[in-house]
Structure 1
Amino acid sequence: MTESAQEFYGRWARLYDLIARRTPGIARLRDRAAAACRLDPGDTVVEMGCGTGANLPYLRERVGPEGTVIGLDFTGPVLERARAATAAYDNVHVLRGDATRPPVGSEGSEGDAGEIDAVLATFVAGMLEDPADAVDDWCDLVGPDGTVVLANAARSQEWYAPPVNAVFRAIVVLSTPPTTKLRYEDDPHRRLDEKIDAAHARLRERAIAVADETHVFGVVRLTGGRLE
């Protein structure tokens, strides 16, 4: 029987946390993602799919002690690590929930923080069935002049891409549940590319100002969009 995504990511929470915090260059990427959110002291930011909480301190640094940071994820063991990592901050809240139906931003919702100034989603779009639809929902959540930022991994488009993409494909296959499956009806890395392309394209459509960056040999795409 195929294991669920929650079981898969829960089982690998410790390794994921190590990769999320110790991969060379990852700290700079997280700092750039936080900067792209265009946050000011006192703002409210929601991270969709916060994982083990590696981005949350960077976001808290931007909003200051008077701001609010909300991290949302659906996997219990992963959230436990996020809560432990941010326990010292009384304005960082970690909630369990689905990024496609976030329990924030509506009257009476759990962790309601009023107007949301920015939404950040890193390495999340590829896990969703309809990432473009999710991006629409995230854009609708932010207030006037708010920002949505996406960071995702997809195949590199650089001139030196072939060896980079070979490694990337192996990582995608190994990280796609179930890990024991040797053959897929269609390549996981191609499905991932399609989802990432759709998510970033939808953000560009919705935004009135867009900034794009690439990192890690062109594998990581960072897009920030300012909404009306």
Structure 2
Amino acid sequence: MSDPRAVYARWAALYDRLASLPVVRSWRARAVDALDLSAGETVVEMGCGTGANVPALRRRVGPAGRVVGVDLTPEMLRRARGHADRTGNGVSYLLGDAARPPVDDVDAVLATFVAGIFSDPAAAVDAWCDCAAPGGRVALLNFQRSANPLATPVNVAFEGFVRLSAPGARLSRRSHADAFERRVATARDRLTERTVDRRYETFAGGYLGLVSGRVE
């Protein structure tokens, strides 16, 4: 099995370009909106990659707030620090495992497109909820196969997409995508168990699911 860090380091440049596409930015903006952020708050992004969500998060918390990105891949963080709109006062990046976040007592937690890569997604979500202060909101955005009957051809291609985008997610010899979606479902279920004021929505033709909740 490939080391995910090596895979993400190798594809960091392409990932950075794809994450910055206008349509992808619109998806990420919806995830940021789900956090209900206020000026002056601290928000942490788990598995921040190249920091594509940071500008939107920074606008929500304002100059008095703080945005922290956590990622396991040095190359991803190096690219994040290379963007002027993803650095500066109030923005910091931490090299670390998002499943064991080196943060505590934060106002909000965001995880986009990462829940499916953890071998124990429930434990990762527990860690994210544990590091949020009471009343803090946690949001997960993930790809999924669409239930739309017209989406069958694209759903077939989803297998290859997951193999490229989620190294190490394979749990069976039959389907990488099935394993990925089981992990995402586990993460969503645990977030549902750990939070109140929950919201769930799908968009992009049903290929994206966004779930959020508030920690008590």
TM tier relative to shorter chain: over 0.9
* SS at 1:151 equivalent: strand
Structure 2: segments with no counterpart, 5+ residues: none
Specify the code of the residue in structure 1 equivalent to 2:6.
E
Give the CA deviation at 1:168.
Answer: 1.8
Q: What is the correspondence of 1:7-156 to structure 2 with a 5 Å cutoff?
A: 7-22=6-21, 25-85=23-83, 86=85, 88-105=87-104, 115-156=105-146
How many equivalent residue pairs?
212
SS at match of 2:126: helix
TM-score (norm 2): 0.93
CA RMSD of aligned residues (A): 1.6
Identity in percent: 47
Q: Could you state the TM-score of these two structures normalised by the residue count of structure 1? A: 0.88
Q: Name the residue aligned to 2:3.
A: 4
What amino acid maps onto 1:194 in structure 2?
A: R
Post-superposition Cα deviations, 1:69-94, rounded to whole Å, max 9, x if no partner, equal: 00000101111011122464210101
1:156-183 CA deviation, whole Å, 9 max, x = no partner?
12232312212222211233548xxxxx
Structure 1 segments of 4+ aligned residues over 6 angstroms from their partners:
none
Report the more deviating stretch, 203-212 or 152-161.
Answer: 152-161
Residues 197 and 89 (structure 1), Cα distance of their counterparts in 2 relative to 1, 3 Å cut: same
Change in 2 beyond 3 A, CA 1:222/1:159: same
1:4-26 alpha-carbon deviations (Å, 9 max, x no partner): 1111100010001111111x521
Distance 2:187 2:146 in 1: 17
Give ranges in structure 1 of 5+ residues lacking alignment: 106-114, 179-183
Q: Distance in 1 between matches of 2:66 and 2:80?
A: 16
Maintained 8 Å contact 1:25/1:216:
no
* CA drift at 1:188: 0.7
* 2:194 pairs with 1:196: no
Matches within 5 A, 1:179-218: 185-218=173-206
